[in-house]
Amino acid sequence: MRIIYLGNNWLGWKVLEWLVQQGEDIAGLVVHPPRKQKFGKEILETAQLPANRILDGSRLWESDVLETIRTLKPDICISILFGYIVRSNFLGIFPEGCINLHPAYLPYNRGAYPNVWSIIDRTPAGVTLHYIDAGIDTGDIIAQCQVAVEPVDTGKTLYHKLEQASLNLFRKTWPLVRDGKAQSISQSAEKGTYHHTQDVETIDEIIPDKLYRGQEVIDILRARTFPPYQGAYMIVNGRKIYLRLELLYEETLRG
């Protein structure tokens, strides 16, 4: 099966690395432009493709880029933490569809920062492999699993748990997809949540003289603890003070 691979970040690198190790046919690679790449060097080195088969993800809507992809005669597209929305004229190229690995337990936490909102909203955390449709993270679900959110989890620790669970789920499920044996189910239209990237701005400022429930402020602080990113803050004497939370089980502290 010939694959067009859309990837970014550590997870995008590791899934691609595994596919290459399995001997899968990576027909073309779509990456973020250099200024937006994460693990871009590792992804490019792993793919080992000529320059004419490496495409700029910010140009996927352009007719010449779409035509280049068509000439590669792909069967399926795999998208891993890809930061651009793909359109119907792109999706229509692939006879076996386009699949996406999303670090959320869909239909909960579609969109951005699922690791943050699973803590804030107390919605189920997990990972999902699904088909891409015209919506954002709304396509039919191929496979998914839940990930436990512990009281000591921060946005960073939960993110890394979701990364590893995503990699494990893909490795387990891809052979079924490749061999045409995967089943899928529609997502519920009655439930679920969605968040834009900028939604975290509504929770980031902690106002010192505002009344909060203890659990509410703890959840905000731990959800937004992800160094080196800035996260939650308060303003004192006109200056921002950023806040990070460390949480330890008693036995860990004793150890």
Q: What is the mean pLDDT of the chain?
A: 96
The owner of tokens 């834009």 is 196
Q: pLDDT category, 62, cuts 50, 70, 90?
A: very high
In contact, 204 and 198? CB cutoff 8 Å: no
**Which residue in 201, 206, 203 sits closest to 242, CA to CA?**
206
Instruction: Tell whether the model's pLDDT for residue 190 goes beyond 80.
Output: no
**Which residue in 39, 116, 121 sits closest to 81, CA to CA?**
39
Cα 60 from Cα 93, distance rounded (Å)? 12
Instruction: Tell whether the model's pLDDT for residue 19 goes beyond 90.
Output: yes
Q: What is the pTM of this model?
A: 0.94
Q: What is the CA radius of gyration of the chain?
A: 20
pLDDT given for residue 188 in this prediction = 83
pLDDT given for residue 255 in this prediction = 75
- Are β-strands 76-80 and 239-242 bridged in parallel, bridged antiparallel, or unpaired? unpaired
Cα separation values, 186 from 109, 142, 183, Å: 16, 9, 11
